[in-house]
Amino acid sequence: MTLTTTLITFPLSIGQLRPWREGDEESLVYHASNRHIWNNVRDFFPYPYTPRDAHSWVRSNKSYQQPNNFAVEIDGQAVGNIGFTVKDDIYRYNAEIGYWLSESYWGRGVMTEALPLMTSYIFQYFQVNRIFACVLEGNVGSMRVLEAAGYQHEAIHRKAAVKNNQYLDEHIFSMLRAEHREIKPSANGY
């Protein structure tokens, strides 16, 4: 991870994680407007993904101090996102993590590499004791990414979600700060 006063980046073997910036809108529209992606994310993720949606997303995420959403950049293009939201009230020490990636890059280990980096970033810079992810049934690739990163499959909320007018199970994966400390760090320290 590179940490400077203005930019946080994480190198990946075929790209990097970096804050969103002006100029990402065109590639965001191209890669995000995909029904296969939309089928596995929450409905607030637009489909089709319009230039207006992209402009709004980039504008709302141009934070350079402690960003909570990072563009997945490959070959100079923003092709995905990984981010988190710290919850509030009695859940204030929980962060929900989520991600999506252009279908062109599925199965190439991009998120398998990105998730541990983001997990370490959250535990290092935020007062969080638990990071969790919600995965809709059928999204086996995402479940494998979470398991490979050391997340525990802790619950199935039966038919808790509605997507495409169908009730779906929601799988909950989590990692506690204490569990993260036990995981052997990779060569770059994250």
Residue 190 to residue 118: CA distance in whole angstroms: 9
Structure confidence at residue 4 as a pLDDT band (50, 70, 90): very low
Structure confidence at residue 187 (pLDDT): 38
pLDDT-based confidence at 90, cuts 50/70/90?
A: very high
Is the pLDDT at 151 greater than 70, yes or no?
yes
pLDDT in tens, 17-74: 999 999 999 999 999 999 999 999 999 999 999 999 999 999 999 865 789 999 999 9
Q: What range defines the domain where residue 60 resides?
A: 2-182
Note whether residue 189 is domain-resident.
no
- Please state the pTM of the whole predicted model: 0.92
Provide the number of structural domains found in the chain.
1
In a domain, 176, yes or no: yes
Task: Evaluate whether residue 187 is within a structural domain.
Answer: no
Residue 48 lies in a domain: yes
Contacts within 8 Å (CB) and 24+ apart, 144-147: 144/112, 145/111, 145/112, 145/115, 146/115, 146/173, 147/173
Write the CATH number for 152. Answer: 3.40.630.30
Is 190 within a domain? Answer: no
